[in-house]
Amino acid sequence: MPLHIPSQFNIAEWFVDRPTAEHPRRWAILGEPDAITYEELGALVRRAAAALRGSGCTPGERVLIALPDSVEFMAAFFGAARIGAIAVPVNPWARNIEFAYYLEDSGARFAIVHASVLSEFPLTYCSREVEIVAVGQRESGGAAQRLKYWQEWLGPDQARNSPVHPTAATDPAFILYTSGSTGQPKGAVHQHKDMRVTSESMGRGVLGLTELDRIFSVSKLFFAYGLGNAMYFPLSVGASVVLNPGRTKVDRVVELIARHRVTVFAAVPTFYAALLREIAPGLPADFSSLRVAVSAGERLPAEIFEKFRARFGVEILDGIGSTEMLQTFISNRPGQARAGTCGVPVPNYEIEIAREDGTPAATGEVGDMRVRGPSAFAGYWNKPEVTARAKIGGWVVTGDRFSRDAEGFYHFCGRRDDLLKISGMWVSPSEVEIVLLEHPRVAEAAVAGVPDSSGLLQPTAFIVCRPGTLAGGEIATEILEYARGRLPSHKRPRSIEFVSELPKTATGKIQRFRLRTQAQARAAGGSTQEK
């Protein structure tokens, strides 16, 4: 699939102005809360661009965006890009210390935030003055005097024919922060061309998106996976998107899919597991409009794939992507999905799996994966040393461990950061988790290495039980015996800790490093069931 992107290219022009001119009355957003046409979206983007320019925002400056999924998010994002500024979307449900980090790290002088998070947002910021625009209900009191509010700030649409800033395809367009599954988030800088690459490669090339599609993503817009699925993928083909500004709840998602007749649905494995767990057989869940479901973020267990297909008649296309590559670069294909695998390379991407010494891994051999493709990030914002370790000779080092089978399908074997060396042999936590999830009393499972009393690292399983299961020693023994019959000795969990929930990033990835830290802190208390 050859790509040709002109040297002068701006994402606001391609993803907003172009479809607006082609079909102004078509729905860009079906809800929530309101339906928005392409013409209305284009006008709002122009107004946001004019307001930013009028506030003194110049090309190259960063604009922090802390908004729920909404038309205002899209307008702020593309409005910044339209004038050559750099959009910096972040988790709108972050805490004060996280917002302060994003502001300091990005150097943003402008921030567009939802009024509901103003209590967490650092309104007084010592490093420099930040202009804050609040979206939503006006607050009262002294803090409100230092804010501008979205509707008054926007002003009228007087810029219908205003030119788009002449950005190069390789100019920075936005910064996406990594999800922090292994530590402090890093800002991956993406260029204007990158969205065009991924929408052609994954959106059209794999998903076959057309203007007839109605797309809904559980993953939010501040996350690379959600940004593509719920914003620029549909805009690239003139399709319609369903937004969910609130936190994700299974019943709400089911209701939106049915009401808006969604055709393409995107989520992460933990949500698919929750959906199957909470929608009991026989209860209404109308997914008859779906033609494809997509998964990424972590490995999708084969059991979830099979149960979802049996229940709804739809394959889940599991894949792997990253913030650094912007979107999915390995994926299963419609009608050819293979349970338990991540699929095959997406058009325009190359994959290598290497041994420790750098030589190519053999078929079926686990090694370190690296990827090369035209959407690769330009670098981490203000972190050249870290960038140099992540980009080597044109390849992006993912930190993931993979194998490739004889048919060319790729198998995820865990993060290098999460791998455990037990009795001199490597153990992938995800491989053990897949087995544990097959137990009828297990709702969620994560495995991390925790030192035992002699200081040796041992695999510990952290279990969330299914509703109605009373966690305790008897159940722990049952689960451990189950694993004993299905795993070699060095891969078996040595102990189990029952938890009410697993620590996850805002994008649904399990934070195993937090489990390790918490378990070590509790070790003296003996809260573990051992076998």
Write the pLDDT tens digit of every residue in 484-521: 888 877 788 988 999 988 888 766 778 887 887 777 66
- Per the CB < 8 A criterion, the answer to whether 218 and 248 are in contact is yes
Q: Of 262-276, 340-354, 514-528, which range is least confident?
A: 514-528
142 has pLDDT over 50: no
- Judgement on whether residues 186 and 311 belong to the same structural domain of the protein: no
- Judgement on whether residues 217 and 162 belong to the same structural domain of the protein: no
- Per the CB < 8 A criterion, the answer to whether 77 and 89 are in contact is yes
Give the pLDDT mean for 210-227. Answer: 96
- Per the CB < 8 A criterion, the answer to whether 199 and 229 are in contact is no
Q: Of 90-94, 253-257, 262-266, 288-292, which range is least confident?
A: 90-94
What CATH code is carried by the domain that includes residue 241?
A: 3.40.50.12780
pLDDT score of 277? 81
Helical H segments across 366-472, by residue range: 384-390, 429-437
Does 385 reside within a domain? no
Higher pLDDT: 5 or 277? It is 5
- Judgement on whether residues 162 and 201 belong to the same structural domain of the protein: no
Give the whole-angstrom CA distance, residue 49 versus residue 396: 33
Write the pLDDT tens digit of every residue in 449-487: 887 665 567 789 999 998 888 888 899 999 999 998 888
Q: Token pair for residue 476?
A: 């722990």
Banded pLDDT at 531 (limits 50, 70, 90) = very low
- Judgement on whether residues 98 and 219 belong to the same structural domain of the protein: no
Highest mean pLDDT among 5-14, 122-131, 464-473: 5-14
Tally of CB atoms within 10 A around 454: 6
Q: Token pair for residue 417?
A: 């950061």
Does 287 reside within a domain? yes
Banded pLDDT at 120 (limits 50, 70, 90) = confident
Q: How far is CA 126 from CA 101, 111, 122, 123, in A?
A: 13, 15, 9, 10
- Per the CB < 8 A criterion, the answer to whether 113 and 67 are in contact is yes
Give the whole-angstrom CA distance, residue 126 versus residue 122: 9
- Judgement on whether residues 328 and 433 belong to the same structural domain of the protein: no
- Judgement on whether residues 124 and 222 belong to the same structural domain of the protein: no
Give the whole-angstrom CA distance, residue 414 versus residue 390: 18
Helical H segments across 442-511, by residue range: 473-484
pLDDT score of 415? 74
Write the pLDDT tens digit of every residue in 390-438: 999 899 999 888 999 999 999 988 777 677 767 556 677 887 888 898 8
Higher pLDDT: 485 or 196? It is 196
- Between the two ends of the chain, the Cα-to-Cα distance in Å is 54
- Judgement on whether residues 212 and 90 belong to the same structural domain of the protein: no
Does 403 reside within a domain? yes
Does 405 reside within a domain? yes
- Judgement on whether residues 87 and 216 belong to the same structural domain of the protein: no
Choose the final residue of a domain: 192, 215, 250.
Answer: 192
Higher pLDDT: 96 or 106? It is 106
Task: Give exposure, 296-331, as e/b (b: 16+ Cβ within 10 Å).
Answer: bbbbbbbebbebbeeebebbbbbbbbbbbbbbbbbb
- Judgement on whether residues 317 and 236 belong to the same structural domain of the protein: yes
Residue with tokens 């805009």: 235
Give the whole-angstrom CA distance, residue 351 versus residue 355: 14
pLDDT score of 498? 93
Give the whole-angstrom CA distance, residue 452 versus residue 531: 12
Q: Of 126-140, 193-207, 513-527, which range is least confident?
A: 513-527
- Judgement on whether residues 164 and 241 belong to the same structural domain of the protein: no
- Judgement on whether residues 309 and 447 belong to the same structural domain of the protein: no
Give the whole-angstrom CA distance, residue 440 versus residue 431: 17
Side chain identity, residue 312: F
State the angle between helix axes of 38-54 and 71-82 in degrees (0 to 180), rounded to the nearest 10.
Answer: 50
158 has pLDDT over 70: no
Choose the final residue of a domain: 137, 158, 192.
Answer: 192
Q: Of 77-86, 356-365, 375-384, which range is least confident?
A: 356-365
Give the whole-angstrom CA distance, residue 236 versus residue 10: 13
Nearest to 101 by CA among 182, 184, 175, 174: 184
pLDDT score of 273? 83
What CATH code is carried by the domain that includes residue 489?
A: 3.30.300.30
Report the percent of the chain where pLDDT is more than 70.
90
Q: Token pair for residue 432?
A: 């053990």
pLDDT score of 298? 78
pLDDT score of 104? 93
Peptide bond into 33 cis (omega under 30): yes
- Per the CB < 8 A criterion, the answer to whether 207 and 258 are in contact is no
172 has pLDDT over 70: yes
Give the whole-angstrom CA distance, residue 22 versus residue 199: 18
Q: Token pair for residue 387?
A: 């960038």
Write the pLDDT tens digit of every residue in 44-69: 999 999 999 999 999 999 999 999 99
Q: Token pair for residue 222?
A: 């501040």
Side chain identity, residue 474: E
Does 389 reside within a domain? no
Compute the residue count for the chain.
531
What CATH code is carried by the domain that includes residue 59?
A: 3.40.50.980
87 has pLDDT over 50: yes
Does 274 reside within a domain? yes
pLDDT score of 527? 44
- Cα-Cα-Cα-Cα torsion 451, 487, 482, 296, nearest 10 degrees, comes to 80
Q: How far is Cα of residue 359 from the mean position of the Cα atoms in its chain? A: 31
Does 388 reside within a domain? no
Choose the final residue of a domain: 158, 173, 192.
Answer: 192
**Beta partners for 172?**
191
Q: How far is CA 258 from CA 52, 185, 250, in A?
A: 38, 36, 13
Read off the DSSP letter of residue 514.
H
Give the pLDDT mean for 271-286. Answer: 80
pLDDT score of 449? 82
- Judgement on whether residues 234 and 374 belong to the same structural domain of the protein: yes
Q: What's the total number of domains in the chain?
A: 3
pLDDT score of 209? 98
Peptide bond into 32 cis (omega under 30): yes
Does 384 reside within a domain? no
Residues of the domain holding 141: 11-192
